[in-house]
Structure 1
Amino acid sequence: MTTTIEDRSIDGPHGPIPVRVHTPAGDARAGLVWAHGGAFFGGDLDMPESDQVARRLADHGVTVVTVDYRLAPIMDWTTGTLTEQPGRVHYPVASEEVTAAFTWARTAHARIPVWAIGGASAGGALTAGATLRLRDSGRPLPHGVLLVYPVLHAVLPPGSAELAAKVATLPNPELVGADAISRMNLNYVRDPAALAQPYAFPGGHDLTGLPPTFILNADIDPLRASGQRYGAELADAGVDLVLVREDGTRHGHLNEPDSPAAALSIDRMARWILALSGTANEPAGT
């Protein structure tokens, strides 16, 4: 299957937003607006978590729009020290740009009947927040929300003993612990008061009325605690949910395009998206 890839620039609330449209050959079976991760201050459309994910999903018949949202200031991961650069921004810019990209995609590609929104890691926070913003403003919601090893809480929830034992095997577990995540989140919003805003970090807020959601957590990853807690919150709110833990994986494994685990995760994602349109033959969690 041949995929057509086109770089576009769309109008956004803070100026032009670069997007990349991956269109499969033939009629697309579903659409996805996708936001890469990178701790809110890193990442681009060429990283595997964006480019390879989009290409492989397009091979399944999904049109994918990847979003080159504006990034936060560069942060020293260990100290939280910032490097201010021209063009770097704070919340709510990136989340509003992801929201605008979704609205553009479903309008510009209206022939595609089913549109989902999703993201990985920090991109998960952006897309989950964008979905709340769409809900609260009365605009059309995505048919589904796809979150991969997402950060969804301003403060990382405590993990289980099982998760803590696995995280302890990481080379530098303190670099991905609760303190580091708190520094990352504060760098994203700048104003500590904004940490409590649901569009910044939806975890712990009102999640009623949200679309069906698929959360794929990495196994050996402190952020699994956030994904699991958010899944429980969605279930309590009556939201249809698929929650998967990809065995043996670490945070960011979609950036390893040659790994069997990344291929398995992307296949799960594709099956779930296509199930929204009624064109998948098996559930994503198998």
Structure 2
Amino acid sequence: MREQDAGLVIEDRRIDGPHGSIPVRIYAPEGARAAPGLVWLHGGGWVEGDLDLPEADGVARWIAARGVVVASVDYRLAVGGVHFPVPLDDVMAAFLWTRTNAHALGVDPSRLSLGGASAGGNLAAGVALRLRDDGSPQPALVLLAYPMLHPRLPEIRPDLAAAVAALPPEHTAFDDESDGRLTRNYAGSAEALGDPYAFPANGDPTGLPPHVIVNSDADTLRASGEAYAALLATSGVTVFSTHEPGTTHGHLNISPADRAAEHTLDVFVRALTS
């Protein structure tokens, strides 16, 4: 698929990966040349989601319309016997492919960043660690929206617990049981639950590039994002961490036109283009 959309060129590609081909959708401003770039990963608890989600397609269009070339990755989901490290391998391959082909895509490779939401944020953080350890070029920035970074939820402050408990029934929140099911399924083994590439909060982030973390407000996963931000800071990594007031988990998956989602994306775009 190749289409023109309000000054954007959008193209579906398939790239090679260690487990087979990987669908990647490229969103490029017309005439992009030496532009900032972003490899972006949707969420979905590692078990759902695709390139057409608002959190994938809507986010990518919004960011690309502001001068950033976005590669949105349809990594393999942890279903049908797939577990870590397969989704991570897909993202690693997609980031390296994007960097290798940066000039052809209109991207300045030194300004290529990596980011994702929820489970996608987990994958982005895990790949950043792996790139560092492999001696590969690092992303310019790591952008995380309400990420899942721990194998188990960290301790939740009483005020956050009260805010989550006050949510109406349609706003289900992660708890130890639901979060544990997802993390165990993604890990696939007890050993992987302790692997820093599977759950970056297990690792030492020293030497990573700057991070921008935007958590949802009344969201138990906010505890994970905030704890990881503290770990980054104490490890000497530059980090900007905030939360989006009045939101629940997944606020980018409503619509990029939503005021809160737009504000979060504006934070990301300012970081990418500054």
TM-score class, shorter-chain normalisation, is over 0.9
Indicate the residue corresponding to 2:218 in structure 1: 220
How is 1:38-187 mapped onto 2 (pairs within 5 angstroms)? 38-73=44-79, 85=80, 89-110=82-103, 112-113=107-108, 114-172=111-169, 175-187=173-185
SS in 1 for 2:54: coil
Q: CA deviation at 1:187?
A: 0.6
Aligned residues: CA RMSD? 1.3
- Within 1, Cα distance between the matches of 2:156 and 2:271? 27
SS in 2 for 1:26: coil
Where does structure 1 differ by over 6 angstroms across 4 or more consecutive aligned residues? Answer: none
Q: Tell whether 2:208 aligns with 1:210.
A: yes
**Is the CA contact 1:119–1:148 (under 8 Å) kept in the aligned structure 2?**
yes
TM-score, L = length of structure 2? 0.92
SS in 1 for 2:209: coil
SS in 2 for 1:135: helix
Map Cα deviations across residues 136-170 of structure 1 (whole Å, 9 max, x no partner): 01011101100000000111101111111111112
- Within 2, Cα distance between the matches of 1:112 and 1:259? 28
**Is the CA contact 1:204–1:233 (under 8 Å) kept in the aligned structure 2?**
no
Give the letter for the 1:135 counterpart: R
* Cα 1:174/1:47, change in 2 over 3 Å: closer
**Is the CA contact 1:25–1:61 (under 8 Å) kept in the aligned structure 2?**
no
Indicate the residue corresponding to 1:271 in structure 2: 270
Give the letter for the 1:62 counterpart: V
Give the letter for the 2:271 counterpart: W
Map Cα deviations across residues 221-273 of structure 1 (whole Å, 9 max, x no partner): 00000000000000011001110110011101111114211111111111111
Q: CA deviation at 1:190?
A: 1.3
Q: CA deviation at 1:174?
A: 6.9
**Is the CA contact 1:174–1:180 (under 8 Å) kept in the aligned structure 2?**
no
- Structure 2, unmatched stretches of 5+, are 1-5
Q: 2:249 aligns with which of 235, 245, 251?
A: 251
Q: CA deviation at 1:175?
A: 4.9
SS in 1 for 2:162: helix
- Within 1, Cα distance between the matches of 2:261 and 2:252? 5
Map Cα deviations across residues 84-129 of structure 1 (whole Å, 9 max, x no partner): x4xx511000011101100000111135221000000000111110
SS in 1 for 2:123: helix
SS in 2 for 1:203: helix
**Larger deviation: 251-260 or 56-65?**
251-260
- Structure 1, unmatched stretches of 5+, are 74-84, 276-286
Percent identity between the two aligned chains: 50
Q: CA deviation at 1:171?
A: 3.2
- Within 2, Cα distance between the matches of 1:266 and 1:9? 26
